[in-house]
Amino acid sequence: MKKSKLLGVAALATALLSGTVGLCSGCSKTSDEGASLPFTWQNTNLYFVITDRFYNGDKSNDNSYGRPYKDSAGYTAGTFHGGDFKGLTQKLDYIRSLGVNAIWVSSPVEQAHGWVGGGPMGMYQYYAYHGYYGLDFTSIDANMGTVEEFRTFVNEAHKRGIRVLIDVVMNHSAYATLKDMCDLKFGETANGVDPCAEWMPNASAGETFHNRPVDARSYPSWDRWWGKDWIIFDAYGEPCGAEDGLDKCLAYLPDFKNTNPNANKVSLPQFLLDKWKTPNPKYDIPAAIPYRQGQMSVAQFQAHWIASWVEEFGIDGYRADTVKYVSKESWKLLKEYSVAALNKWREKNKGKDPAADWTDPFYMTGELWAFTTDPEDKSGFAKDGGFDSLIDFYFNPDGVNLNTCIMPDQSDWEKYGKLYGRLEGKVPLGNLTYISSHDTSLCRKKNMAKAALNFLLLPGSVQIFYGDETSRVNDMGGGIDMEQGIRSDMNFPKDVDNAKEWAANVATLSKEFSKDNEILAVWQKIGQFRLRNPAVGAGYQEKLSDGSYCRMFKDKAKGIDNAVVIHVGDAKQVEVGKCFSDGTKLQDAYSLKYYTVKDGKVEGDFNFAALLEIKR
């Protein structure tokens, strides 16, 4: 439905309430890819993928750097499983069918080549499949794919209207592993152990994989690693344990000295300079090459390295790891560099990628452990740290446990609507709510259809953890570690090859969904409803006399004027007069039927839910 951008304020408000205004000026309503669908970060439906555990699109890269599928103890709990960017690209239609408008992928930077001890008992070899053990921030990890494969993934996501976020780890480097010490010639081993040889713990002597023979005392050979100017590490005279706070080591991970972005300039680590002497265009990030030289503070090097991914690929945002362990000043520096990098990429890629024409600001969300809500930014993470939102831990706050989540309900809709809903504008600091997490547990309730309804329609932004929609199980890491089981391999439905059809009409009204998995079909319907309607997550909410919810949102700059009515439960009629005027043609995204408003209501046979929007 076309509308003019020249509507007066009063006429605009009247049109909004009557339902005569549709989505947005100039927006495609029939595109099967959806790059021009209305979008606001306040209505994000984000899909979080651990790339390695999603889908294997190229088996030739599975054993990069000598990484095995099965470790030397015979386990796969902590190894790389083969997922890569080719696999993600192949499954983008599936992801789009969930109504997803943003995807967060685990950090794509080159990770530690080797292993550390895994599990409380050190039973297995634990590799960096999750992306949190960065080694070279200017190169892509070969297990994930090549520079051009990542570029293709981002471009194909953009064609479908999906924004791409990468996980960012500024707090710490990887542990020192034997394989890295062998490959990059730094550090010392205990008892003269050859770092290039396979090492197995001596069980009779009480050893486990936690006892890998890395000698972290002060030896000149450690200076070839990051060095004392870069990190806190035992060999540099500053013990690195399990501590909490800025300039402290989290879980024994070497802590980058990046608290002050204007600190003294440092030289680049010798192991990286030696590595970079042999360029590898297949994996080196072109935009990062200029920052493989010179001197600047640790935080400045890191911010340039990370922002170069934005400049090279058009990354739309970050999920920042361990936010409270890095200073707000350093986060803000990263945001500043990244905003400039995105503007540079957009200018360069006009006509090559639809995202070059997007005007959405660069987005940064972050993990602040135990955070819930702070819409007015009393904590200063938006003002002083550059964050647009923080992850909301409320519905799954515990450590590694089975099914300890709290399921949202309508009372939470009312609470979150008051916190985050706006008719216009936005709150200073948004949220990103999840029910499952890679660090806590998988939320698996008896009625996962109801979970989809209550969670996906929660005001504010939401984050699906891959497999929430298919009830992916905790496989206990092959039976030995519950934490690794949270990150089990993705369980696609049997009819996943039909994903292109499922995603073909998300901009209008899809009528094709998974037939193999009825619960998945519910997640698809509700997610697509949210995708088409910014008011679901961003809008002002009013509860109507029959218990229905009217949500309304407008953004004059983007020409967005949107209203929806949501009703939960069975009904013969639904009140809609607050959002839609008599005679307005509506569609129900759940039943896939059409209705006409009469006397402020629509009549029909509504089962489970009614998701009412303007007919498209």
192 half-sphere exposure, CB direction, 13 A CA radius:
0
pLDDT digits (tens, 9 = 90+) for 186-236: 999 999 999 999 999 999 999 999 999 999 999 999 999 999 999 999 999
pLDDT digits (tens, 9 = 90+) for 541-586: 999 999 999 999 999 999 999 999 999 999 999 999 999 999 999 9
- Identify the band that residue 14 occupies on the pLDDT scale cut at 50, 70 and 90: very low
- Identify the band that residue 399 occupies on the pLDDT scale cut at 50, 70 and 90: confident
Q: How far apart are CA 577 and CA 598, in angstroms?
A: 9
Residue 7 reports pLDDT greater than 70: no
Annotated catalytic, 321? yes
What's the confidence (pLDDT) of residue 33?
A: 57
What's the confidence (pLDDT) of residue 35?
A: 75
Residue 312 burial (CB < 10 Å; 0-12/13-18/19+)? buried
* Distance (Å) of CA 195 to CA 27, 173, 192, 398, 425: 58, 20, 9, 38, 57
Enumerate residues 6+ apart whose C-beta is below 8 A from 360: 39, 40, 41, 163, 316
Q: How far apart are CA 413 and CA 428, in angstroms?
A: 20
- Identify the band that residue 19 occupies on the pLDDT scale cut at 50, 70 and 90: very low
Q: How far apart are CA 40 and CA 46, in angstroms?
A: 12
Helix (H, G, I), strand (E, B) or coil at 573: strand
Residue 18 reports pLDDT greater than 90: no
In this predicted structure, which of 5-9, 143-147, 290-294, 570-574 has the lowest mean pLDDT?
5-9
Residue 270 reports pLDDT greater than 70: yes
Spatial CA neighbour of 256 closest among 238, 280, 276, 279: 238
Torsion of CA 139, 141, 142, 148, to 10 degrees: -60
Domains of the chain: which residue ranges?
A: 1-30+538-616
* Distance (Å) of CA 136 to CA 93, 107, 177, 508: 31, 12, 14, 43
User: Does residue 505 contact residue 32 with C-beta atoms inside 8 Å?
Assistant: yes
What's the confidence (pLDDT) of residue 13?
A: 37
Q: How far apart are CA 540 and CA 551, in angstroms?
A: 5
What's the confidence (pLDDT) of residue 4?
A: 30
Q: How much is the mean pLDDT over the chain?
A: 93
User: Does residue 17 contact residue 552 with C-beta atoms inside 8 Å?
Assistant: yes
What's the confidence (pLDDT) of residue 81?
A: 98
Which residues are paired to 136 by β-bridges? 110
E strands, 245-297, are 255-256
Q: Where are the alpha helices (DSSP H) in 457-582?
A: 476-479, 482-485, 499-503, 518-532, 535-538
Over range 520-530, report the average pLDDT.
98
Residue 11 reports pLDDT greater than 50: no
What's the confidence (pLDDT) of residue 527?
A: 98
Q: What is the DSSP code string of 376-443?
A: T-TT-TTTTT--SEEEE-TTS-SSS-SS------HHHHHHHHHHH-BSSS--SSEEEEES--SSS---
Spatial CA neighbour of 320 closest among 363, 374, 370: 363
* Distance (Å) of CA 466 to CA 215, 309, 489: 39, 23, 9
Residue 443 reports pLDDT greater than 70: yes
From the candidates 321, 374, 575, 588, give the one annotated as an active-site residue. Answer: 321
Reported as type and span, the H/E element at residue 317 is: strand 317-320
Annotated catalytic, 367? yes
The structure's pTM equals 0.94
In this predicted structure, which of 10-14, 180-184, 418-422 has the lowest mean pLDDT?
10-14
Residue 268 reports pLDDT greater than 70: yes
Q: How far apart are CA 49 and CA 236, in angstroms?
A: 36
What's the confidence (pLDDT) of residue 597?
A: 98
Phi, psi of 439 (to 5 degrees): -110, -10
What's the confidence (pLDDT) of residue 190?
A: 96
User: Does residue 169 contact residue 131 with C-beta atoms inside 8 Å?
Assistant: yes
pLDDT digits (tens, 9 = 90+) for 444-500: 999 999 999 999 999 999 999 999 999 999 999 999 999 999 999 999 999 999 999
Q: How far apart are CA 187 and CA 368, in angstroms?
A: 33
Determine how β-strand 163-168 pairs with β-strand 116-118.
unpaired
In this predicted structure, which of 20-29, 97-106, 381-390 has the lowest mean pLDDT?
20-29
CATH number of 1-30+538-616: 2.60.40
Per residue, the 3-state secondary structure of 113-125, as one string, reads CCCEEECCCCCEE
From the candidates 33, 58, 180, 367, give the one annotated as an active-site residue. Answer: 367
More confident residue, 398 or 591: 591
Residue 166 burial (CB < 10 Å; 0-12/13-18/19+)? buried
Over range 101-121, report the average pLDDT.
97
Residue 21 reports pLDDT greater than 90: no
